[in-house]
A and B are shown apart, each in its own frame.
Chain A
């Protein structure tokens, strides 16, 4: 069946090949580059991110090669509100957000999709590495590139209008295919980090928006061992950049165990204290039927992170996830994505853990 497909084109190789594949499959494809900054130059320069003028031109050039219409849609306001501001707010609240996930949830498969549907499109196509068959979301075959984690926050309704043509292919093959198709972005470097933080300096970005807020760094006994410029710039499990003058009594490295925005305190301690056995997730999204009782499955707690065996169950509005072996450095605000093998069952936002200091 020929669908009217809106291909979101970042200017990178993945979304270009995805659009080409959708067109080759016989769909009626229109390319759209999302302008996510009202002042594009303020974003990452060079060809690494997904928000620069150069990226917009790369996307246009790819669309021309594929032979599809191409437009730039201004989604800067929505992006700033739902992704950038959310990112800042989450850090300010002591959590660790994943903006790519938020962008999928609020921009690509919300603002962009809604507008596309209203304008008569049937689906939004992206270059994500994930497989989607009959509403079943699975990991992409390229384990290193798999992006099912950042898509797992999307609802069934959102995914019903999504198309991920790259899930069955490895990145290396996509690059070869791009070259074969004459797409000049074939050897463009992968994007990394956070597209709206131009220099990759997340701490500096947050400091600029939240201001300096010096406070104590304490150890597990409550003793002050250092000072920080703002609790928001720490992540649970973080080891580097703590700037603690004196070593721990046992001489072992110390890790961030807890961030408390209320009293502006960062707690550090030994690696063992990071152990988490149980996670409480909120705002669950189920792609499969919610488990009726305790359900044995796997959980992933951060993008490209380790996968743990677990038993998950629904408790009211929450999801309780019991890990069969402890995980380390689980940050609230990240998504807990439940898998059965390579199939996504659902996801929830990590609200609390049983870590001693959480």
Chain B
């Protein structure tokens, strides 16, 4: 079976004080996570206060590389099938995302992926992941 990726309308992104610096970075093609200024631990999703110690946090760019922790092709939630996944970044945090630009039926847990950006309504760039070549 083959289910080729198709673009899906993404709606508009939520712009608020928590997301604004993140989307400013994705507009420039970079993915960032939050790291605690006190305990130095990274976390996901990004919060202004560290969920380990409630310390202040700062943004840290990541390489945008990782592997699929789990993946499911959702086939009946609308006209376009899509792959929802947890991606474990090499920096050690796991984020919910979509896997794109591939045959969705070929996706496997453990597969290496890299970040790509897809535009939401209004042009905000949303990080998603595509399988590494080979």
B partners with A: no
Q: What residues make up the interface of A, taking CB atoms closer than 8 Å to B?
A: none
Q: What residues make up the interface of B, taking CB atoms closer than 8 Å to A?
A: none
